[in-house]
């Protein structure tokens, strides 16, 4: 069972530690890769953020470096089991989804989302917004109480195969979105 309703009250859900570990490692992968891409070329990320046209020009560079810092703190927090990293990852994902959605509503789908770094341009799409909203699920799981039980060898194999599966699916979905957007721009 992935979760159970606590005897402490009807509104408290306690998650199995397998769900916690899978969620932590998936988010660790997502935010670690995102921070790496942004750190590989901070000026390119500043330009990407500027292109969203959500901030005054004078604040764009400062906010870009704050985002990179927040992604690094999130990655380290997840690596060291800090529950607050779940809240920070949820906040970042919600902000990213909101920024993308706002630009899509404005009709600005052609700008780069900034998801894959400067090497792979990926225009905005509703699927990117949905992806970020779906990633809120593991972010919230990381913040919730966990059942007190010993993790068995089979549990760790389950975590390993779930993390591998989810990260491969995540990477494949990102590649499919990038390829789709490239194919649409050629037509």
Would you place residue 2 in the very low, low, confident or very high pLDDT band (cuts 50, 70, 90)? low
Nearest to 52 by CA among 18, 102, 2: 102
Longest dimension (CA), the chain: 58
The CA distance from 182 to 187, in Å, is: 9
DSSP letters for 116-161: S-TTS--B--HHHHHHHHHTHHHHHHHHS-B---PPPHHHHHHHHH
**pLDDT tens digit string along 110-162?**
888 888 776 677 888 898 999 999 999 999 999 988 888 888 899 999 999 99
**Whole-structure pTM value:** 0.84
Cα separation of the two ends of the chain: 48
**pLDDT tens digit string along 78-96?**
999 888 999 999 999 999 9
**Burial group, residue 35, by CB count within 10 angstroms (0-12, 13-18, 19+):** buried
**pLDDT tens digit string along 22-32?**
999 999 999 99
3-state secondary structure of 16: coil
Nearest to 120 by CA among 48, 184, 70: 48
Domain residue spans of the chain:
15-186
**pLDDT tens digit string along 67-81?**
999 999 999 999 998
């Amino acid at each position: 069972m992935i979760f159970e309703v606590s005897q402490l009250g009807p509104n408290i859900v306690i998650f199995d530690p397998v769900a916690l570990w899978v969620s932590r490692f998936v988010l660790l992968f997502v935010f670690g890769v995102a921070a790496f891409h942004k750190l590989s070329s901070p000026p390119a990320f500043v330009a990407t953020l500027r292109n969203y046209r959500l901030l005054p020009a004078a604040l764009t560079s400062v906010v870009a470096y704050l985002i990179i810092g927040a992604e690094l703190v999130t990655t380290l927090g997840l690596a060291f089991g800090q529950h607050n990293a779940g809240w920070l990852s949820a906040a970042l994902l919600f902000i990213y989804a909101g920024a993308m959605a706002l630009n899509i509503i404005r009709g600005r789908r052609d700008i780069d989302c900034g998801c894959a770094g400067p090497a792979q341009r990926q225009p905005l799409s509703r699927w990117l917004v949905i992806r970020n909203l779906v990633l809120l699920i593991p972010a919230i799981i990381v913040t919730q109480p966990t059942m007190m039980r010993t993790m068995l060898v089979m549990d760790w194999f389950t975590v390993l195969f779930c993390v591998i599966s989810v990260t491969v699916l995540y990477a494949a979905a990102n590649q499919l979105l990038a390829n789709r957007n490239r194919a649409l721009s050629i037509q």
